[in-house]
């Protein structure tokens, strides 16, 4: 009767109104042309110039900003190097911890029937509310006499409770901020895994159980491989989060103490709005970040496609 | 152990395999519930901290970090309302959040519908550009945005935040709406066309109401993002009467001695509206998010 619906081709009779489609996307295109394309072009051009934000003219310097950031300028490259290391730590730790916790919680939630909805709602609250208010609650909890230290001391773990608070010293600041990031991102991974679990037919798991496979084995050899597409999606989202979320770092530590929790995104922000500004550096660093994000996205899409 | 039969062990003196399995299953059940409860506490602990801190005096909050461990006082909430002009901050935040949601709900469902169901020139190119923007980090375009807002004369108005926030929500909103509209059986569209409905009529009378779950999802995601937006309002606005809540909250931390009880009270005021919104709409929200992943 009807031709099978394909993703991009609409049936022939629809072509009557080719311009209708353009009218429908026009508002989005206009919004993007002004607040998307314009700022992208502006920022890209600025990355090849030096500008302090006040003088009327830019000084064109070619790729000098990029070279300076990648090691050519002793005044900025050590800072950038430290921020790179911190960002890489986040890009490694965040996806792994969020994957493990998200999958474990999804399996646990999936195994109970009563109260499942309530548990799912409670677990999801950190993701929905994440932002300045939650960050400040964590800052308060991380204070030298805050709740986290108090819990550790109550458990007898005095040596693990830093005297100057988790955000106040260089050894724990980065880990403490990443922990908050994990806390606020585990819910979305859990929800995606729950969705994935619901698409696995009961028969598959039942068959494994009949064959005498243990729970652990069933999870590891049957459920985890079937969830591969979800895993890949979670990894993309978490890499993007680790690379791009600078507001968390800005509001929790502002990169301190002494750059211990500085990241590339925050460094780009500081070049533009911090105490010593160089807007060209800010733009160039932003575009290096964008390049990494785009490369990661392409690699991940390739991996996803090759698996299907 | 819910069985009403006489246990096998009493009859034979030895636990059967079935019984051992039942014990094993029951203890596994207990472990699962305990683990679920532990993570539930981890999830909501910061909110208890906010509530507990907001009900304490500054003295109590310094000496005892645990929530609900001192006799509660509402003096802190009163002080915070006085220090911050909370109603005005709430109003400014609501303008930004509602405004950007309106722009998003007008602009992106239309685009998602066109990408799902209509055929037009440059369709794939436009889709690639609009969605590819997802991978440009926010910080990369932040400075040009502030300069653009200034040039357009938007600085100092809520529009300086509303338009960039709406634009930033675009990629995800378009993908979500497109996959939702593509999952509606095509016969629906056929039938509407045969009934002589115009394209805008089909969209407005049939597809838009059908996509309630997806609309709720993008509304909540964006409402929360706009409600929490701190950087853009700070950079585009220096008039304290136009500040939204997150920027107003910042002033509590600028003094030498931070009054954590008041900061927690202000944090609570920020979090309550979005939590209520989420819990009220969560059925649609979670379904919408899950549907978008399956589709």
Interchain CB distance below 8 Å, A128 and B167: no
Quick: pLDDT tens for A65-113: 888 888 778 878 888 899 999 999 999 999 999 999 999 999 999 888 8
Q: Is A178 exposed, middle or buried (0-12, 13-18, 19+ CB in 10 A)?
A: buried
Interchain CB distance below 8 Å, A290 and B113: no
Q: Which residues of A touch B114 (CB under 8 A)?
A: 20-22, 24-25
A72 close contact with B: CB closer than 8 A = no
Q: For residue A114, what pLDDT is reported?
A: 82
Of B207-211, B214-218, B249-253, which gets the smallest average pLDDT?
Answer: B249-253
Q: For residue B6, what pLDDT is reported?
A: 52
Q: Which residues of B touch A3 (CB under 8 A)?
A: none
Return the higher-pLDDT residue of A198 and B286.
Answer: A198
C-alpha to C-alpha distance for A251 and B247, rounded to whole angstroms = 11
Question: Residue A50: helix, strand or coil by DSSP?
Answer: strand
Interchain CB distance below 8 Å, B114 and A132: no
Quick: pLDDT tens for A130-145: 889 999 999 999 998 8
**A1 pLDDT above the threshold of 50:** no
Return the higher-pLDDT residue of B173 and B291.
Answer: B173
Q: Which of A18, A32, A138 sits opposite B119 (nearest CB)?
A: A18
A39 close contact with B: CB closer than 8 A = yes
Q: Which residues of B touch A118 (CB under 8 A)?
A: none
Chains A, B: CB contacts within 8 A come to 279
C-alpha distance from B135 to closest chain A C-alpha (Å)? 6
Question: Residue B21: helix, strand or coil by DSSP?
Answer: helix
Return the higher-pLDDT residue of A258 and A103.
Answer: A103
Interchain CB distance below 8 Å, A230 and B293: yes
Residue B184: pLDDT band (50, 70, 90) is: confident
Interchain CB distance below 8 Å, A123 and B39: yes
Which residues 6+ apart lie within 8 Å of B22 measured at CB?
B1, B3
C-alpha to C-alpha distance for B84 and B248, rounded to whole angstroms = 7
User: Chain B interface, mutation test: which of A35, A139, A198, most B Cβ atoms within 10 Å?
Assistant: A35
Mean pLDDT of A196-219: 83
Within a 10 A sphere around the Cβ of A164, how many other Cβ atoms? 12
Q: Which of B35, B167, B187 sits opposite A36 (nearest CB)?
A: B167
- In this prediction the ipTM stands at 0.84
Q: For residue B258, what pLDDT is reported?
A: 81
User: Chain B interface, mutation test: which of A128, A176, A190, most B Cβ atoms within 10 Å?
Assistant: A128
Within a 10 A sphere around the Cβ of B260, how many other Cβ atoms? 25
Question: Residue A170: helix, strand or coil by DSSP?
Answer: coil
Return the higher-pLDDT residue of A202 and A251.
Answer: A251
Quick: pLDDT tens for A276-293: 778 888 999 999 998 988
B161 close contact with A: CB closer than 8 A = no
Neighbour-count burial for A34-49, b at 16+ CB within 10 Å, e otherwise: ebbebbbebbbebbbb
Q: Which residues of B touch A239 (CB under 8 A)?
A: none
A202-241 residues touching B, CB cutoff 8 A: 230, 233, 240
Within a 10 A sphere around the Cβ of B144, how many other Cβ atoms? 23
The residue of chain B nearest to residue A283, with distances taken between CA atoms, is B140
Closest CA to A116 of A173, A124, B191, B44: A124
A122 close contact with B: CB closer than 8 A = yes
**A3 pLDDT above the threshold of 50:** no
Q: Which of B119, B143, B263 sits opposite A272 (nearest CB)?
A: B143
Percentage of chain B beyond pLDDT 70 is: 93
Quick: pLDDT tens for B116-158: 998 888 899 999 888 888 888 888 889 999 999 988 999 989 9
Return the higher-pLDDT residue of A212 and B224.
Answer: B224
Q: Which of A29, A143, A286 sits opposite B137 (nearest CB)?
A: A286
CATH assignment of A64-307, among 1.10.10.60, 1.20.210.10, 2.40.50.320, 1.10.3720.10? 1.10.3720.10
Strands A49-50 and A59-60: antiparallel
Interchain CB distance below 8 Å, A25 and B110: yes
Q: For residue A111, what pLDDT is reported?
A: 86
Residue B271: pLDDT band (50, 70, 90) is: very high
**B31 pLDDT above the threshold of 60:** yes
Closest CA to A248 of A87, A119, A102: A87
A133 close contact with B: CB closer than 8 A = yes
Q: Which of B130, B224, B286 sits opposite A131 (nearest CB)?
A: B224
User: Chain B interface, mutation test: which of A36, A127, A295, most B Cβ atoms within 10 Å?
Assistant: A36
B54 close contact with A: CB closer than 8 A = no
**B97 pLDDT above the threshold of 90:** yes
Q: For residue B197, what pLDDT is reported?
A: 86
Mean residue pLDDT across chain B: 86
B103 close contact with A: CB closer than 8 A = yes
The DSSP H or E segment spanning A60 is: strand A59-60
C-alpha to C-alpha distance for B282 and B46, rounded to whole angstroms = 20
The token pair at A91 is 């890009």
- Establish whether the linkage from the previous residue to A107 is cis, with ω within 30° of 0: no
Q: Is A171 exposed, middle or buried (0-12, 13-18, 19+ CB in 10 A)?
A: exposed
Interchain CB distance below 8 Å, B107 and A27: yes
Residue A17: pLDDT band (50, 70, 90) is: low
């Amino acid at each position: 009767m009807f031709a099978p619906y394909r993703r991009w081709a609409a049936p022939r009779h629809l072509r009557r109104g080719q311009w209708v489609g353009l009218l429908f996307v026009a508002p989005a295109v206009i919004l993007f042309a002004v607040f998307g394309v314009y700022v992208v072009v502006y920022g890209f051009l600025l990355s090849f110039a030096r500008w302090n934000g006040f003088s009327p003219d830019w000084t064109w310097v070619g790729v000098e900003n990029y070279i300076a950031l990648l090691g050519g300028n002793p005044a900025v490259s050590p800072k950038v190097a430290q921020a790179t290391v911190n960002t890489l730590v986040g890009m490694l730790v965040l996806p792994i911890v969020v994957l493990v916790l998200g999958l474990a919680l999804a399996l646990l939630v999936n195994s109970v029937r009563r109260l499942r909805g309530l548990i799912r709602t409670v677990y999801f609250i950190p993701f929905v509310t994440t932002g300045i208010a939650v960050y400040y609650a964590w800052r308060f909890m991380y204070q030298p006499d805050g709740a986290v230290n108090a819990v550790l001391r109550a458990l007898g773990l005095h040596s693990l409770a830093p005297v100057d608070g988790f955000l106040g010293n260089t050894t724990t600041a980065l880990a403490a901020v990443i922990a908050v990031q994990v806390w606020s991102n585990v819910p979305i991974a859990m929800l995606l895994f729950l969705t994935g679990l619901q698409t696995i037919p009961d028969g598959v798991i039942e068959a494994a159980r009949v064959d005498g496979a243990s729970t652990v084995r069933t999870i590891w050899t049957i459920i985890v491989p079937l969830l591969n597409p979800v895993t890949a999606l979670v990894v993309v989202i978490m890499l993007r989060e680790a690379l791009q979320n600078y507001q968390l770092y800005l509001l929790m530590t502002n990169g301190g103490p002494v750059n211990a929790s500085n990241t590339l995104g925050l460094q780009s922000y500081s070049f533009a709005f911090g105490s010593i500004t160089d807007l060209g550096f800010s733009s160039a660093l932003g575009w290096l970040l964008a390049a990494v994000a785009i490369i990661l996205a392409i690699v991940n899409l390739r991996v996803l496609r090759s698996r299907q | 152990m819910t069985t009403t039969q006489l246990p096998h062990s009493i009859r034979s003196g030895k636990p059967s395999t079935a019984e051992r399995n039942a014990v094993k299953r029951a203890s596994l059940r207990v472990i699962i519930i305990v683990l679920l409860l532990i993570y539930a506490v981890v999830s909501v602990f910061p909110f208890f901290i906010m509530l507990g801190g907001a009900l304490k005096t500054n003295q109590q909050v310094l000496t005892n970090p645990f929530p609900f461990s001192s006799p509660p006082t509402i003096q802190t909430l009163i002080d915070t309302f006085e220090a911050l002009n909370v109603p005005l901050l709430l109003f400014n935040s609501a303008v930004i959040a509602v405004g950007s949601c309106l722009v998003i709900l007008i602009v992106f469902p239309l685009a998602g519908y066109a990408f799902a169901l209509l055929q037009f020139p440059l369709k794939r190119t436009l889709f690639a550009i609009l969605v590819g923007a997802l991978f440009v980090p926010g910080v990369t375009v932040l400075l040009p945005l502030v300069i653009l807002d200034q040039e357009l004369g938007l600085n100092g108005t809520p529009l300086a935040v509303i338009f960039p926030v709406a634009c930033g929500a675009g990629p995800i909103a378009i993908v979500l709406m497109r996959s939702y509209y593509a999952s509606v059986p095509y016969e629906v569209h056929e039938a509407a066309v045969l009934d002589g409905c115009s394209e805008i009529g089909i969209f407005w009378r049939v597809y838009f109401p059908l996509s309630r779950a997806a609309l709720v999802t993008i509304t909540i995601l964006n409402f929360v993002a706009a409600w929490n937006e701190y950087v853009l309002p700070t950079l585009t606005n220096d008039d304290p009467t136009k500040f939204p809540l997150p920027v107003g909250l910042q002033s509590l931390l600028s003094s030498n001695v931070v009054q954590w009880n008041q900061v927690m009270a202000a944090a609570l005021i920020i979090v309550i509206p979005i939590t209520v919104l989420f819990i009220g709409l969560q059925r649609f929200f979670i379904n919408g998010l899950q549907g978008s992943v399956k589709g």
